[in-house]
Amino acid sequence: MALSSRVPFISWPLRPSLFKISCIKPPKMANSRSDFSIAAFSATSGSDRKQPILLFDIMDTVVRDPFYQDIPAFFGMSLKELIECKHPTAWIEFEMGRIDEMELARIFFKDGRHFDLEGLKSCMREGYSYIEGIEELLLTLKQNNYEMHAFTNYPIWYKLIEDKLKVSTYLSWTFCSCSNGKRKPDPEFYLEVLTQLKVDPKSCIFIDDRLKNVEAAIEVGINGVHFKNASSLREDLSLMGIEILKDEEKQK
């Protein structure tokens, strides 16, 4: 629920045939690998498992986050006022599974004021929706047999998202902070993902709307894409060699 700046950023090793595209450049902080190819992804696993594996942040990457508009309205205050009066770590502790929703309700506000917890949950559920164009992209990726996982900071209320949007139709809720007890950009969380998936970091692409989370992925060797919108993500993945055409488009 923390605010952060959102600026364009993509990090991946481009295919040699794409090096002349001047509008897309790897940032200085990331290593550029001139030998990039989909074959290179597959070679890291030594199995028939399709590479790369796609790791998706959820909030404001796949699903709209209601925190910035809907929740302040629910409490009848501005976003700034909400941030000033809420407990500084309660939501983080909830995201990491350290407290349950009843404890969250008890300590959410610094002054201990009571509020309608079920009403808040209903407000959040109402505010969840797919980011424009992202569901269609996820469907295409699934049809092309890519392995996809959620890699997200969110509490047990991810089940509210699932109940409404059926995100698991496209990807697995494999790595959620409330279950793993860690949050991005903690490097240990990224390493835990790689350990559980049993893959080399170069065999993964991580997509997130928060730059600091993408940078943390790059630090452990995972290919990172800073999400801006579904259209640009489709283009970014295509440049990385990811199959994003629908079956009917392939036949044209």
Q: Do 186 and 203 reside in the same domain of the chain?
A: yes
Q: Which domain holds residue 236?
A: 9-63+130-250
- In-domain check, residue 1: no
Mean pLDDT of all residues in 178-205: 98
pLDDT band at 246 (very low <50, low <70, confident <90, very high): low
pTM, rounded to two decimals: 0.82
**Phi, psi for 49 (deg, rounded to 5):** -65, 125
- Residue 21's φ and ψ, nearest 5 degrees, are -75, 105
57 and 83 in a single domain? The answer is: no
User: What are the start-end ranges of the E strands in 46-203?
Assistant: 53-56, 148-152, 172-176
Clarify whether residues 115 and 140 are in a common domain: no
**Final residue belonging to a domain, choices 100, 127, 154:** 127
- What is the pLDDT at residue 24? 32
CA angle 9, 173, 241 (to 5 degrees): 40
- CB proximity list for 193: less than 8 A, separation 6 or greater: 55, 149, 151, 175, 204
Q: Across the chain, what does the average pLDDT equal? A: 85
Q: What is the pLDDT of residue 75?
A: 98
Indicate whether 230 belongs to any domain: yes
CATH no. for residue 157?
3.40.50.1000
Domain tally for the chain? 2
Same domain for 25 and 147?
yes
Assigned domain for 54 exists: yes
In this predicted model, what pLDDT tens digit does every residue of 144-169 receive, in sequence order?
999 999 999 999 999 999 999 999 99
Q: 147 and 37: one domain?
A: yes
Out of 107, 127, 147, pick the residue that ends a domain. 127
User: Residues 90, 114: one domain?
Assistant: yes
Domain co-membership, 152 together with 193: yes
Residue 140 falls inside a structural domain: yes
Question: What is the rounded CA–CA span in Å between residue 181 and residue 89?
Answer: 14
**Is 4 contained in some domain?**
no
Does residue 177 lie in a domain region? yes
